Structure 1
Amino acid sequence: MQRNQSSPLRFIDRCHEIAELKSYLDDAIKGEGRTVFISGEAGVGKTRLINELQDYASSKNIRCLNAECVPQGSKPYMLFVNAFKEVAEHLIHIKEEFAAVEEVFLINRAGVVMAHESKTEGGIDSDIVGGMLTAVQDFVKDSFADKASVSGLARLDYGDKKILMEHGRTVFVTIVISGQESDEIRNDMKNMVSVIEKNYINVVEKWNGDISKLSGIKNIIKTLPRKKYSVERKLDSGEMESEKIKLFDGALQTVLKISEQQPLLLFLDNLHWADSSSLQLLHYLSRNTRNAKIMMCGAYRHEEIVKGHPLIKIMEMMKAEKLFVDMRLDAFRVENIPDFIYSLLGKNAFPDEFISKIGTETEGNPFFIEELLKTLVEEGIVYKKERKWYAKDVAEIETPKTIKDVVFRRINHLDEECKDVLKYAAVIGKDFDFNVLQKTMNKDEEELASLLEKIIEVGIFKENGILHFVHPMTQEVLYRELPNFKKTVVHKKAGFALEAMHPKNVEENSAMLAYHFSKGGVPDKTMLYAIKAGDRARKMFSFDEAEKYYKLALNGIEKLEESMENKKTKVLLLNKLGGAYFVLGEWNNALECAKESEKLSKETGDEKQTAESFRNIGQINENRSEWDDSLRNYEKSLQITERIKDNQGIAESHKGLGWIHWRKGEYDEAIEHYTLAVKYGEKIGLIPVTASAYISLGSIYGKRG
């Protein structure tokens, strides 16, 4: 069915609403920014209303930007990143810190350096190398003599450098880094040891000093100095909130600059699927654009907003500040349905009985009406004769009762191959890439292209750079009605297809990969990519999203076979999740994570992690004003970190103890601990701890006079 082409699609039964929106836009042009939320059931015409407003905006030389939320694989601030991608390359500025691998040594059981690669030509000064090697070689001998001590001695501090070591059966990989240690560095080191011992075990065990036999190994170890590792910034909750405001303000300044060049109309669709970070940024922008030439419109389905939904919380806060206008769209009234049908088909001779039945059965929902008419045309019940549309006996019309019926009645006219394409596409998502679909289906490119043309022709898909479902409800219904086993298989295939297509960009796609692999029943991949997605969210101060992905990663690891390595990974995950809970103020959940982390780290023999768990518990006690409990846990951490010579842990423990003694009015003890925090922090270049300790010392001395 083709739309009536004799005139533009007329706007039906929304005169009051469009007039109100135009008046708000006129205000925005004058520098009186506006935010409007438009709600209504699926298919009621929210997007169509905004399209009409955008036509008006274009006539006024107003820049129109759009973005819509998707229900799966969301990334922090994705809504705004997508909206501004064509006019602002980096709307969200992330301040990142990196660690660089400067030297790599491969050392055998005897403590002999077999291979050495350096980031810079010639490497570091020979005297420094000699000092490092003395420390490393002593460590190697001690470790092979007493393997139980390996986990506690996996890192040495050497001036402002860190020496990290990964132990194998026959060799050590030892690296010198500048910057913080990261999980990714550790994983690369473990993989390197594994590859070397798997593929070059005979070379290692029988090595007689002949360098020429190590060419393969040298090619492996030279990859580390070429990489740059993003590391987690060590910030307390106050610093994190400050950095988040800086991030928001950076986005605000970019948006204001764009609006100064040309007034801006921003449309954000499907807010019921928005990630929490996007909603928080929406609130911030709304508050700070009230004197700007900006109008923001957000649309959502009211039936999707249930108790606890993040949009409810944001709207409650915005309502208290009188930041938005709420507009509710209802279905068409009976008297407007003939005009809507005319706008779709053109001239017709439909009897009143036909119009009445259409209106009654669809309850005036525009999406239902349009999809039903398309189906009736395809079935020959509505037909065209001499430039006019007619309907057969009304009794022949079997009207669908639900959205599901509407969708399936439409696709039943397609052949089985097209239906199969629809099913695969529905699993991939509302928007999908041709190549991902092709790899997921393992279908010939030309054959798939022909099938897609058929589906586009009947109006179910459209193409705009990438492929889309014309209406989100079609994708939702198709996905919901697929058997679970089919969903699992397709999600798994989609995950591997997406992974294969973007091997060097897994960070960017980690959220979607975690989603597909979790739904596809691949727990190891779920864990891997959910951790990456959580880390990415944390760097962007989107702790709600970080919490979601860390929980997904834990769910993945619970499905893996129990092993010492998986226990260690679980400890790291619990610390990450606990950190997200802590920043969100969910202290009971944070405490539960810290206690479980402490228990598991003792089982793995990782004293460094045990100490960190005690510090985390101490910090939670501290925020609850449980001073004595906090003191005990910080002291437990200090005892462990001093025994294993973990300077970072020592500095952080003293900083925590200094704070507690200060709160208790024990100034001498506080000064002593803060002074030691400075000493150990400066020793290893731990700037955040050192700076915080200096500030606290200044405050204490100032208070004492």
Structure 2
Amino acid sequence: MYKSQLLICGEAGIGKSRLAAEAERMAGATGGLVLRARCHEIERALFLQPFVDALRPRVAHLAGQLLRDMVGGWAQVLESLAKGQPMERRYAYEAVTAFLCALAEREPVLLVLEDLHAAGAATVELVHYLARRTSGARLLVVATVRTDDEAVTDALRGPAEVLRLGPLPPGAVAELAARAGLGELADEVFRRTRGHPQFVVELLGEPDLVRQGVPASLRVIVLARLRGLDDQARRVLRAASVLGAAAFDPVLLGEMLALPPQVVAEHCERALARGLLVVSGSAYEFACELTREALYVTTPAPTLVVYQDRARRALLVPPAGRSR
């Protein structure tokens, strides 16, 4: 059965926005109307702000009699919503639904909501509301959602089609490397990036660093992905970076940081949800070598010395009942 909503899910930098932009390009090229907005966490308290941003230009363009001819009595509600005036949720939901359906009668409509995981509850509710009340309309809602926040995906899983993006396979990385004139480096690029699209592109842009080194742009990207973790979780990842590319277990990291293994395991699970770590048997390892290297080179030298010394001690003196 055709669904009028598509959730593009994946970790940061995996290509969600690129795919949404391609949908916009195709819609515009085939005569569709494109409405778009980006959700911002700091604006969660602003009622339906992403919908206000997406619809305000069109509401303003059709203000007055044209708007009343399209949606009747809902025109005043839409104009009030566009001005950010408070109102009952149900009135706002019904007005937005009536407006989008009226637009879709004139031409196909694509509504793109970037970073829906950062939206307030009312925005997510309205997306669900639209799915149940726009069946048959020429309306497609495309939203991008990070996989480290499954609440939105769970809320919309029924009415929406969920598309999960993952890393590029070796063949795709080889093709990108060949296009960049770096075909001979494809295997090394894949080894260090594990196919993460953003990392692949950044590394191919710095061919001198393909075999060794971390582009400055990637350091910024990796550090930005740490912002959603607390200080202790970041310490855990930085300590893990001194262990090299090998898999590590929470018990070892707990010994290095004087933390209970269960606490370290919880931090590793959060990093796993953000795509920074992957499971390797009964241990964890970094999702890609570049992530580990970026953490390593951005850790202050005195701190690295401490972690390296503690790692040597932990590896040389295993606890009773466990061998290394």
TM range (shorter): 0.5 to 0.7
- How big is each residue's C-alpha offset from its partner over 1:638-687, in whole Å with a ceiling of 9 and x where there is no partner? xxxxxxxxxxxxxxxxxxxxxxxxxxxxxxxxxxxxxxxxxxxxxxxxxx
Aligned twin of 1:68: 38
Cα 1:329/1:55, change in 2 over 3 Å: same
Q: How far apart, CA to CA, are the structure 1 residues paired with 2:177 and 2:219? A: 19
Aligned twin of 1:358: 189
Q: How far apart, CA to CA, are the structure 2 residues paired with 1:77 and 1:475? A: 30
2:144 is the counterpart of 1:283? no
Q: How far apart, CA to CA, are the structure 1 residues paired with 2:52 and 2:130? A: 14
Q: How far apart, CA to CA, are the structure 1 residues paired with 2:175 and 2:13? A: 17
Q: Residues 518-533 of structure 1: matches in 2 within 5 Å? A: none
Aligned twin of 1:331: 167
Alpha-carbon offset, residue 59 of structure 1 = 2.7
Q: Residues 482-497 of structure 1: matches in 2 within 5 Å? A: none
Contact 1:271 / 1:298 at 8 angstroms: preserved in 2?
Answer: yes
Contact 1:358 / 1:369 at 8 angstroms: preserved in 2?
Answer: yes
* Unpaired stretches in structure 2, ≥5 consecutive residues: 61-76, 232-324
Q: Residues 198-209 of structure 1: matches in 2 within 5 Å? A: none
Size of the aligned set, in residue pairs, is 212
Aligned twin of 1:111: none
Aligned twin of 2:237: none
Q: Residues 79-90 of structure 1: matches in 2 within 5 Å? A: 79-89=50-60
Aligned twin of 2:29: 59
Q: How far apart, CA to CA, are the structure 1 residues paired with 2:137 and 2:166? A: 31
2:296 is the counterpart of 1:296? no
* Residue from 48, 68, 76 that aligns with 1:77: 48
Q: Residues 20-35 of structure 1: matches in 2 within 5 Å? A: 34-35=4-5
Q: How far apart, CA to CA, are the structure 2 residues paired with 1:478 and 1:39? A: 19
Q: How far apart, CA to CA, are the structure 2 residues paired with 1:67 and 1:475? A: 26
Cα 1:373/1:313, change in 2 over 3 Å: closer
Contact 1:33 / 1:294 at 8 angstroms: preserved in 2?
Answer: no
Contact 1:36 / 1:327 at 8 angstroms: preserved in 2?
Answer: yes
More relative contact order, 1 or 2 (CA 8 Å, 6+ apart) = 2
The 3-state SS of whatever aligns with 2:7 is: strand
Alpha-carbon offset, residue 341 of structure 1 = 3.4
Q: Residues 306-455 of structure 1: matches in 2 within 5 Å? A: 309=151, 311-312=152-153, 314-315=155-156, 319=158, 323-342=159-178, 345=180, 348-351=181-184, 354-374=185-205, 376=206, 381=208, 395=211, 397-399=212-214, 406-408=218-220
Q: How far apart, CA to CA, are the structure 1 residues paired with 2:174 and 2:129? A: 43
Q: How far apart, CA to CA, are the structure 2 residues paired with 1:289 and 1:72? A: 29
Alpha-carbon offset, residue 85 of structure 1 = 2.5
Cα 1:340/1:262, change in 2 over 3 Å: same
Alpha-carbon offset, residue 91 of structure 1 = 3.9
Alpha-carbon offset, residue 94 of structure 1 = 5.2
Aligned twin of 1:254: 99
Q: Which moved more, 1:81-90 or 1:266-275?
A: 81-90
| TM-score of the two chains, using structure 2 as the length reference | 0.57
Aligned twin of 1:42: 12
Structure 1 runs of 4+ aligned residues shifted over 4 Å read: 477-481
Aligned twin of 2:250: none
Q: How far apart, CA to CA, are the structure 2 residues paired with 1:86 and 1:256? A: 17
Q: Residues 120-135 of structure 1: matches in 2 within 5 Å? A: none
The 3-state SS of whatever aligns with 2:58 is: coil
Cα 1:475/1:277, change in 2 over 3 Å: farther
Contact 1:62 / 1:265 at 8 angstroms: preserved in 2?
Answer: yes
- How big is each residue's C-alpha offset from its partner over 1:512-570, in whole Å with a ceiling of 9 and x where there is no partner? xxxxxxxxxxxxxxxxxxxxxxxxxxxxxxxxxxxxxxxxxxxxxxxxxxxxxxxxxxx
Alpha-carbon offset, residue 33 of structure 1 = 6.2
RMSD (Å), alpha carbons: 3.4
Q: How far apart, CA to CA, are the structure 2 residues paired with 1:86 and 1:359? A: 44
Cα 1:61/1:334, change in 2 over 3 Å: same
Aligned twin of 1:221: none
Letter in 2 for 1:358: V
Percentage of matched positions with identical amino acids? 23
Aligned twin of 1:264: 109
| TM-score of the two chains, using structure 1 as the length reference | 0.27
Q: How far apart, CA to CA, are the structure 2 residues paired with 1:303 and 1:325? A: 18
Q: How far apart, CA to CA, are the structure 2 residues paired with 1:86 and 1:365? A: 36
Q: How far apart, CA to CA, are the structure 1 residues paired with 2:172 and 2:82? A: 54
The 3-state SS of whatever aligns with 1:303 is: coil
The 3-state SS of whatever aligns with 2:8 is: strand
* Unpaired stretches in structure 1, ≥5 consecutive residues: 1-23, 25-31, 97-229, 233-239, 383-393, 409-472, 484-705
Letter in 2 for 1:64: V
Alpha-carbon offset, residue 477 of structure 1 = 5.0
Contact 1:33 / 1:293 at 8 angstroms: preserved in 2?
Answer: no
Alpha-carbon offset, residue 95 of structure 1 = 12
Aligned twin of 1:145: none
Letter in 2 for 1:262: E
Cα 1:270/1:480, change in 2 over 3 Å: closer
